[in-house]
Structure 1
C-alpha cells in the first residue's frame, strides 16, 4: 500500500445516500484496496489572485489571464513513488503540503477522483482538466508567424519550464483536453446539482473508470451523480501524451470554478470557498480490471448562438453617439472615432479568430492560456497604457439581453503579469446605454462602460461616472513602480476581456462568430 489513509482530504467531505462523512470515504478506500487499487491522498486548495501574484508569476512568468470573477479550487494530490515532479512547477499554484502537487501525471490505469458537496446556488460551476506542459519545443516559423500577427508579448504564448530557459525541452501548454463538466451538464444528467453531492473521475482509461464507478455505486452513489472527464488518446493533430510518470510525460492541471452565487448566498459561498467540502484522491487500477481501454479522439460539443447581426447598425450608432457625447462634453480627444473605427479598436475571440484551441496549441508547442468552450471570450488586441490620463470606452451588445449568455463579465487584466484584477458583471452593465436611448435603438440590449485611473474626468458625460471603473494603483501598479511584479515594459498597461458564459438552452458558450464584437475607444487628456 502506497499511503495509509482513512479518509483522503477532508474527513467530513464526500458522501453516500446517508450524507457525507468519513465513514463513506473509509469504506470507499477499503473497497478500492480490496479490489487491488493503489490509493494516494489529496486535498482541495483554493487558488486566488494573490496566489498568482505571489507564486505563479514568479515561478512561471504568466498568470494565464485568470478569471477575476471567482477564484478556483484545485485538487492537490500526493505524488506516486517514482513520479517525476518538475522543480520549476513546485508550489507554482500556491504553497502545497510536502510530497503533494497541483500538477500531476497520469499512468494509463490512473485516475484522479474528487467528490463532495457542491457550492451554494449560483450562475456557474464547472470542472476542467488541462494539459499543463509537454516535452518538446516550438518551431521558429510558428513563433514568427504569431509574432507578426498579434500584438501580444510572445513570452505569454511561447515559453518553457522554467521560463526563458533556452536549454529546456519542456513547454507550457495549459491546453484543453475536452469540454467542461459544468452545472448545465450536471443538471441534465443528475438534476439540480448546487449543494448536492457529486463525484468526478479524471482518467485516460474506460476500464479504470468502470472499476471506480462500480466501487462508488457499491457505496450507494447513484450512477447519474458520477461524471467522468475522459483524457482522449489523440486530437486533430496526433496522439496526446505520452502518459506515465517519467520526465518526458505530459502533466495535468485540474480546476473547479464557481462563480456568482445567488442573492443571499454570498456568505455561504465564501465559507464554501475558504474550506471546500471536497475529498480528493488518486487511484491506480490493478491489471485485474482488464486491459487498458483508451478513450477515442478529442471532440468539442458544437456551439450555437442567436445571431446579433440585426443589431449591427444600432451598435454602430451607439459607438458614434459615445464618440460625439464624450468629445462634446469633455476635453478628451481620440483617434478612434472614425467611421468605422480602426480595426485595432475591435476586440477579438482568439479561439474563433486564430484557432487557438487545445489541439492546435499542443501541435505547435504554444501556451493556450487555459482555452475552454464554455464562453465566447473577446480580448483587446494589444496592451493598453493607462498612466497618461487614458480613458477607454468599451461598447457592445450585452449577451445576457440578446439571449446568448447566462452571465457576462467585462474584465481588466494586468498586462505585466497577465492576471485578472477587476470585473464588471452583466448586472452592472445592464442599462448602461440608457442615456443614448433617444437617438439609438435597442440600447436595452447594449452596454457602455469606461475604464480609467480617475472616473471624475467623465463628470460631464451623462451616465459616464456611473458606468466607469477606477483602475487603482493597487489593482494595477503604475508604469514607474519599480517594486511591482511583472514585465517592466508592460507595467501600467491593461488588457480588456469580455466573457459571455453558457448560451441558455445549451451546455456551452455562444458561438462568437454570431455575436457582435466589442469596440474599445481610447481617449486621451490634452497635456498628459
Structure 2
C-alpha cells in the first residue's frame, strides 16, 4: 500500500503520542493508562525514521456485558467466553485503504470512529502491544486468532457434525458474517494460529513478569519482527522482555490467508487474558483492568527493511499430564454416593444413576473427541470458538433448568492431581453461548470430603450442583457451598421472551470445565490422561 500520506502521518503521530498537547481527550473505558509511557515518543520517532508507517491504537476491556450488548447482536454468538476473567483487547486505527467490514463494526464493544477490534495484516505489518503487566495472579496470556475468512462450508461437513454431536448447537459452529447471511461468502472462524504467550513462557524467558513491563509483537514477517525489536531495544528495552506471536504461513491443511487489506483477506483478533489475582491483589487487579496500562500501535515495515520472511508451518507444543486412571474407581464410588444421597435426602429421581453410567453423562472434550483445533476448523469453514492449547476443556450440551432439574458435576480436581494451575467450572447461557459465572477450584476443593467414609482420595475429587434453587438440596454434605443457584437474573427463564439470545435455548445452561496449564509446563494438560467429568441429571418425582 506504500507509505501513509504526510497529512495522515501527522495526525497518526499526534494520536500515538497522545500527551496533553491538543491531540484530543482519551475516551472513558478505552485504556487511558498509557499517558506515562516513557518510550512511546522515541519508539515512534525511531520507527518513522526507519521508514515505518505507524498507526495508533489503544487497549480496552472486553466484558460479559459487551458480549450481550455488542457481540451477540452482531455475530449471534458470544464465542464461549471464559467468565473467569474479562479480556483486554487491542483496538487499532484502520489503515487507509483497509476494508472496514460494516458487519464487524463495534462487534467487540464500542470503539472510536475509524478504529476496530478486528484487523487485517499486510505481509509487512505488525501489531505492537506493550506495557505494565497486571498484579500477581495465577494466569495471564496473549493470543491472536483468525477471526473470519472467505469461503463456505460443505453441506457434508455440516451434516457430519449435526449427526455426530449435540454438545454445541449448530448455529454456533457454522455461521457467516453477517450471521445467517443468505448470500454471505464469509464465515466465522475464531481459530487458533499457535500457542499462547503466557506467564509461564514469559517467566522462562524474562523472569517473573507480573507487575513488570513486557512487550509483544504480532506479525507474519520475521523481517518486520527484527526491525521492531531493534527499535524497542534502541529505547532501552531488554531483548528478553520482547515476545513475538508468529503468524504462520500455513498449517497442516494448507495456506493461512490470504493476507492483505482487501475484503477477501483474513482478519485477526487479539486478546490479553488475566485471571485470578493473588489474595490481597483484588483491588489492584480491578484498577488495572478498569484502565489497562497498555500501549497499542500497528506498524508497517518499508521495503528497505528487506524481503518479507514468512514464518513456517503452524505447530503446537506437546502436552503432558499425570495419569488420573488410578482415580477411576474412587470417582465411580463418589458418583454412587452422590446418587444415593440426592435420592434419599432431596427425594429426586436419578435416571442417570445406572451401572454403567450412560454415555450421555460424559462431558465432551472438543479437541480430544472431535479434533476441533484451528487447522481443522479453517479447513472446513467452521467456527472453532477460540480454541487454545493452555487448557483441557470439557463441555456439556444445553440442559433445561426451569422444571426443577438439578445437575451434579463430578470429576477429579486437576489442581489436586498435579494437572492444573487453576480449574474453573463455568455456567454458560446456551441462548448466547456466553459464560456468565464460574466456580473456581478454591470452592471445588474439599467438596467431596463429606463422602470420605466411602470414597478414597476424596481430596482429589469434587462434586458441584447446579439448579435454580439450591434449597432443594438442603442436608447434603457441605450444603450450600457445593451448589450454585442459577437465578433468572443470571440466566433468563425460558418464558422470558424479551431476553437476548436464541429463544429456543432460553432457560438452558451449559456446564464447562477448564483445567489451565499443567504445572512445570507452558501448556494445558494432555486430556487423554484425565478422567472425563460426568454431569448427572436429577428431576422432581411425580406427585
What TM-score results when the alignment is normalised by the length of structure 1?
0.97
> Are residues 1:55 and 2:70 paired?
yes
Q: For residues 174-204 of structure 1, give each alpha carbon's deviation from its aligned partner in whole angstroms, at most 9, with x where no partner exists.
A: 0000000000010000000000000000000
For these two proteins, the number of residue pairs brought into alignment is 522
Per the alignment, residue 193 of structure 1 pairs with: 209
Q: Equivalent of 1:87, from 102, 108, 111?
A: 102
Segments of 5+ residues of structure 2 without an aligned counterpart are: 1-5, 21-25, 27-33
- The separation in 1 between residues aligned to 2:452 and 2:275, in whole angstroms, is 31
| 1:465 to partner: Cα distance | 2.2
C-alpha contact (below 8 Å) 1:450/1:464 kept by paired residues: no
The alpha-carbon deviation at position 461 of structure 1 amounts to 1.9
Measure, in 1, the Cα distance between the counterparts of 2:542 and 2:175: 39
Distance in 2 (CA, whole Å) between partners of 1:83 and 1:70 is 32
Q: In the superposition, relative to structure 1, how do residues 395 and 275 fare at CA in structure 2: closer, same or farther (>3 Å)? A: same
Whether contact under 8 Å (2:17, 2:40) holds in the other structure is no
- Residue 20 of structure 1: CA displacement? 8.6
What is the aligned counterpart of 2:124 among 103, 109, 114? 109
In structure 1, the partner of 2:261 is 245
Q: What residue in structure 1 maps to residue 435 of structure 2? A: 420
Q: Work out whether 1:42 is the aligned partner of 2:50.
A: no
Q: Which residue of 2 aligns with 1:394?
A: 409
Matched ranges for 1:238-277 at <5 A: 238-277=254-293
Aligned to 1:446: 461
Deviation of the 1:526 alpha carbon? 2.3
Among 298, 303, 317, the alignment partner of 2:314 is 298
* 2:159 corresponding residue in structure 1: 144
- Distance of 1:275 and 1:48 partners within structure 2: 13
Query: For 1:429 and 1:288, how far apart are their aligned partners in 2?
Result: 57
Q: Deviations over 1:275-301 (max 9, x none)?
A: 000000000000000000000000000
The 3-state SS of whatever aligns with 2:466 is strand
Aligned to 1:492: 507
Q: Relative to structure 2, which stretch is displaced further, 192-201 or 331-340? A: 331-340
Answering whether residue 189 of structure 2 is matched by residue 173 of structure 1, we say yes
1:460 deviates by: 2.6
Choose from 64, 81, 87 the match for 2:79: 64
CA offset at residue 6 of structure 1? 4.7
* 8 Å CA contact retained: 1:6, 1:26: no
Pairwise mapping of residues 250-399 of structure 1 onto structure 2 (< 5 A)? 250-380=266-396, 382-399=397-414
Q: CA deviation at 1:329?
A: 1.2
Corresponding residue for 1:458? Answer: 473
**How many Å separate the matches in 1 of 2:300 and 2:527?**
40
- Looking at structure 1, the residues matched to 37 and 461 of structure 2 have their Cα atoms a distance apart, in angstroms, of 50
Q: Is the 8 A contact 1:7 1:22 kept in 2?
A: no
Task: Note the alpha carbon deviations across 1:14-56, whole angstroms, 9 max, x for none.
Answer: xxxxx99344100100000000000000000100000000000
Query: Using the alignment, how far apart are the partners of 1:21 and 1:72 within structure 2?
Result: 22
- The CA RMSD over aligned residues, in Å, is 1.4
**What does residue 5 of structure 1 align with?**
13
Q: 1:481 to 1:9 in 2, by over 3 A?
A: farther
The residue matched to 2:39 in structure 1 has which SS? helix
